[in-house]
């Protein structure tokens, strides 16, 4: 029964991706090896991002923009600049939110869901998210991208909020170009990264409370 459901999910995923010329990835092991090598030599990433929220309630998608800074081993700062000023920092110890000047700090361990989301975000940015113990993974590719489609195995925590995570890797440099977070009700968030810079110096200070 479980195998049948997995097979049906795979077919649905495959059909929707086929519309964008995606096909089953030929060299999965080579892709994983190259991705691991790329992750190992990437100490930092600075990129701009465009976040688009698609929901049935919205007459048009909700767009926000900003910059993201990532530094090994596990520090990420998302800075939203339009249409609101909002920073969220994940620094390994906790989460710092600066909401237009109002700053709040939380411990990651205080919520299992937050903890999982935190890990997912950090791993996604690094491209180090292909954990078969937590996700059923389908590997696809087209001319421009490699894609990994992750379905959470635990439906109670992460799976209650996200039914699918699609990660698109640039074929040129194996960096993450696009993230699509699909909710159980089929609303989704798409984040596109551009103007990416690798291994630039980033001060640790930007990941701590001011």
CA distances from 49 to 19, 66, 89, 182 (A): 25, 5, 15, 18
Q: Does 101 bind other proteins (CB under 8 A)?
A: no
Torsion 97-109-44-177 (CA) sign: negative
Q: Does 189 bind other proteins (CB under 8 A)?
A: yes
Among 80, 135, 169, 207, binds other proteins (CB under 8 A): 80
State the number of binding residues for other proteins (CB under 8 A). Answer: 30
Q: Does 146 bind other proteins (CB under 8 A)?
A: no
The span from the CA of 7 to the CA of 109, in Å, is: 35
**Residue 185 backbone phi and psi in degrees, to 5:** -85, 5
Q: Which is nearer to other proteins, 30 or 85 (CB)?
A: 85
The span from the CA of 54 to the CA of 61, in Å, is: 5
Q: Does 105 bind other proteins (CB under 8 A)?
A: no
Largest CA distance in the chain: 53
Residues 138 and 22 sit within 8 Å (Cβ to Cβ): no
Among 2, 19, 26, 102, binds other proteins (CB under 8 A): 102
- Cα atoms in the Cβ-side hemisphere of radius 13 Å centred on 208: 4
- Residues 40-59, interacting with other proteins (CB under 8 A): 51, 53, 55, 57-59
Q: Does 113 bind other proteins (CB under 8 A)?
A: yes
Q: Does 167 bind other proteins (CB under 8 A)?
A: no
Q: Does 68 bind other proteins (CB under 8 A)?
A: no
The span from the CA of 149 to the CA of 64, in Å, is: 24
Q: Does 131 bind other proteins (CB under 8 A)?
A: no
Binding site for other proteins (CB under 8 A): 51, 53, 55, 57-59, 62-64, 78, 80, 83-84, 86, 88, 97, 99, 102, 104, 111, 113, 117, 160-161, 181, 183, 185, 187, 189, 191
């Amino acid at each position: 029964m479980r195998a049948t459901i997995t097979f049906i999910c795979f077919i649905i995923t495959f059909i929707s991706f086929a519309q964008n010329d995606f096909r089953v990835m030929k060299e999965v092991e080579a892709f994983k090896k190259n991705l691991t090598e790329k992750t190992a030599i990437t100490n930092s990433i600075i990129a701009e991002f465009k976040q688009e929220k698609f929901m049935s309630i919205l007459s048009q998608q909700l767009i926000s923009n900003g910059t993201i800074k990532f530094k090994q081993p596990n520090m990420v700062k998302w800075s939203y600049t339009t249409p609101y000023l909002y920073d969220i920092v994940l620094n390994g110890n906790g989460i710092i939110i600066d909401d237009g000047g109002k700053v709040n700090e939380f411990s990651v361990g205080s919520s299992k869901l937050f903890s999982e989301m935190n890990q997912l975000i950090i791993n996604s940015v690094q491209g180090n998210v292909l954990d078969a113990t937590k996700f059923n993974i389908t590997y696809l590719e087209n001319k421009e991208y490699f894609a990994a489609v992750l379905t959470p195995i635990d439906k109670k925590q992460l799976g209650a909020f996200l039914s699918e995570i699609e990660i698109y890797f640039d074929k040129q440099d194996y960096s993450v170009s696009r993230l699509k977070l699909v909710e159980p009700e089929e609303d989704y968030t798409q984040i596109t990264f551009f103007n990416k810079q690798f291994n630039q110096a980033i001060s640790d200070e930007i990941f701590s409370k001011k």
